[in-house]
Amino acid sequence: MPHRAVGLPQKFQALLQPNKIKQIICTGNLCGRETMDYFKSVCPDVVCTRGDFDDMPFQETETFTIGDIKFGLCHGHQIVPWGDQESLKILQRQLDCDVLITGHTHKFSAEVCDGKFFLNPGSATGAYNGLTSESVPTFLLMNIRGSQLQVWIYEYQGDDLPVKVEKITYTKGMESNA
């Protein structure tokens, strides 16, 4: 976080209360131990991949299963061009996952393609991405029950406005965005 943004917006920090979250899934670019320590103070179970600014010993990719859904995780700087759907499909097939979570673009996106769910949480800090200096802070909370994944998208709209929250649902194998 310290490379491109001061930190999480206070309104996001207020939502991330200890012992309320079972697992933190992070695409990377923690940029230092203090961010990992903060995450672990919220939840001791943290899965993280290595971003292009990380010097911690994270893996390039991770896979894990929650309920009936297999997740693939990757920072995303390895995807060329960044965020390209065809390149993301290649990684999804390599990881053999139902849901692929990648970052690096710092822009939230969610798309179902060929029954697989492609999710980019954006940037929780609103850090710029190298292509543009405009980035809206976003983070996701997920609930998994069997083969259904519910995703709440939290979007920071400024200090004087409430955090915007939207919900989307993916069911393993579904053919298009619902």
Per-residue pLDDT tens digits for 156-165: 999 999 999 9
pLDDT, position 2 = 47
pLDDT, position 5 = 60
Q: Partners of 24 in the beta sheet?
A: 46
Q: Cα(89)–Cα(68) distance, rounded to whole angstroms? A: 20
pLDDT, position 133 = 64
Q: Cα(57)–Cα(70) distance, rounded to whole angstroms? A: 23
* DSSP, res 168: E
What string of pLDDT tens digits covers the 178 residues of the chain? 445 566 789 999 999 999 899 999 999 998 889 989 999 999 999 999 998 988 888 999 999 999 999 999 999 999 888 888 999 999 999 999 999 999 998 899 999 999 999 999 999 988 876 666 678 999 999 999 999 999 999 999 999 999 999 999 999 988 865 4
pLDDT tens figures, 47-80: 999 989 888 889 999 999 999 999 999 999 998 8
Q: Give 11-15's long-range contacts (Cβ < 8 A, gap of 24+).
A: 11/156, 11/159, 11/163, 12/124, 12/137, 12/139, 12/154, 12/156, 12/163, 15/154, 15/163
The pTM score is 0.91
* Amino acid of residue 40: K
